[in-house]
Amino acid sequence: MNICINDAAAHYTPEEGDPLLLARGDLVKIDLGAHVDGFIADTAITVEISTYNWRELMKASEEALNIALEMLSPGVGVASIGTAVEMAITSRGFRPIANLTGHAMQRGNLHAGIAVPNVSGGEAAVLPSGTAVAIEPFATNGRGRVDGNRKGNIYQVTRERDLKDQAGNDLLKDIINRFGRLPFAARWCAPFSDKYEALIRRLWRHGNLHSYPVLSEIAGGMVSQNEHSALILEDTSIVYTR
C-alpha cells in the first residue's frame, strides 16, 4: 500500500508505528497491489481530505486514464498512449509526470519490461495479446518530474548472497519464502525478527535488497494519480481492477 500525500507521487508506505496523520486539504494517492498465485493487480485513486481545492487536477489524471484504457487493444503502440495521456492532462492546464510510467506485468514480476509513458515521444514498443498492463497517469501543477531524495520503506529482493551473520541470512530466506521477488513493506518483516529493521538495512547495504525511494515532484507541485490494470486479449482488453 502506497499512501502518498500532496507532492509525493509514489513509494511512501508507513513504517511500524508511523505517527503521520492525514490533514484537512491533503491530496492523497492510494496505490495498492494484490496478487493471486503471483498474478498481479495494481490500482490507484486520489482523494482530497475535506476540501475541494484540487478537483480539476484529480479530473486530469482520471480522464487521462479513461482515455488510455479505451485505446487498449492488441498491437497498440505505447507511444500513442503516452501522447493521449499528455494531451488529456495538458488540456486541463496541468502537466503529466514525464519520468513515471505505467508498466507491463508478468507472474511474480510487477515491472515486466514494457513501460507505458505518460508523455509523447516514447519508444516504439507495442502491447501484444496476452499482456497484463498497469496504466497510471500522474498529473501535477508543478514541473512534471519527480526525484527520489527521500529513503522509502518498500524493498524488493534483487539477489541471494549469504551474509556473514546467520540472522541476516535467515531473514532473507523468510522474505523470499513469503514475498518472492515482489515488493514488500519493511514492517511486514516484524513477525520474522525483532531486529528486522537493522537486518533489512544490512541486507540492503549488501546488495540483496533494492530500496524504493519516495518520489516527490521536483518543484513541490501537487500530484494526482489514477491507475487500473488490464489484460490485452486477442481482439479486446479487460480492465480487471474496476
The catalytic residue positions are 31, 42, 103, 111, 136, 227
Q: Which residue has the higher pLDDT, 45 or 236?
A: 45
Over residues 11-31, the mean pLDDT reads 96
Q: What is the structure's pLDDT at 124?
A: 83
Question: Is the pLDDT at 152 greater than 80, yes or no?
Answer: yes
Q: What is the DSSP string of 76-132?
A: EEHHHHHHHHHHHHHTTT-EE-TT--EEEEBTTBSS-S-EE-SSSS----EE-TT-E
Residue type at 231?
Answer: L
Range of the domain at 58: 2-147+219-239
Q: What is the structure's pLDDT at 189?
A: 98
For position 173, which CATH number holds? 1.10.10.10
Q: Which residues of 206-233 are buried (b: 16+ CB within 10 A; e: fewer)?
A: eebbebbbbbbbbeebbbbbbbbbbbbe
Q: What is the structure's pLDDT at 178?
A: 95
45 and 136 part of one domain? yes
Q: What is the structure's pLDDT at 113?
A: 84
Over residues 200-214, the mean pLDDT reads 96
The domain total for the chain is 2
Q: Using CA atoms, how far apart are residues 6 and 66, in angstroms rounded to an integer?
A: 22
| Percentage above 90 pLDDT, the chain | 94
When pLDDT is cut at 50, 70 and 90, the band that residue 151 belongs to is confident
Specify the pTM.
Answer: 0.94
Q: What is the structure's pLDDT at 102?
A: 97
Looking at the DSSP bridge assignments, the partners of residue 127 are 76
Half-sphere exposure of 40 (CA within 13 A, CB side): 24
Residues 6+ apart with CB under 8 A from 67: 84, 85, 88
142 and 41 part of one domain? yes
Q: Using CA atoms, how far apart are residues 118 and 135, in angstroms rounded to an integer?
A: 9
Mean pLDDT of the chain: 96
Q: What is the pLDDT of residues 52-96, one digit of tens each?
A: 999 999 999 999 999 999 999 999 999 999 999 999 999 999 999
Q: Which residue has the higher pLDDT, 24 or 123?
A: 24
85 and 141 part of one domain? yes
Q: What is the structure's pLDDT at 149?
A: 84
For position 231, which CATH number holds? 3.90.230.10
Q: What is the structure's pLDDT at 1?
A: 93
194 and 122 part of one domain? no
138 and 80 part of one domain? yes
180 and 166 part of one domain? yes
